[in-house]
Amino acid sequence: MHSELLALGIKVAPATGGEILNDAGVDPAPERSATTWAGFLRSQAEALPACAFLETVTLTGARMYVLAVISAPDRL
């Protein structure tokens, strides 16, 4: 968390990320239960929309960015 905040230009002490997670009730990484990415996606499949982000260049040379989101009708 510390390095990601630094990459955004936000200067914080290295312990700040741990304090934020601790206040939110999130255990340190070695103590968390090991959930795989595939397991997370399976457990959240009904709530997660399908997304795609792409870049394309038109015939005139204009650069366009496209974000496509597909969700179940009852989730919109």
The answer to whether the beta carbons of residues 56 and 64 sit under 8 Å apart is yes
Q: What is the pLDDT of residue 5?
A: 83
Q: Can you give the pLDDT of all 76 residues of the chain as single tens digits?
A: 778 888 888 888 888 888 888 888 887 766 666 778 888 888 887 777 888 999 999 999 999 999 998 876 665 5
Which H/E stretch holds residue 40?
helix 37-44
Domain map (residue ranges) of the chain: 1-34, 46-76
| pTM passes above 0.75 | no
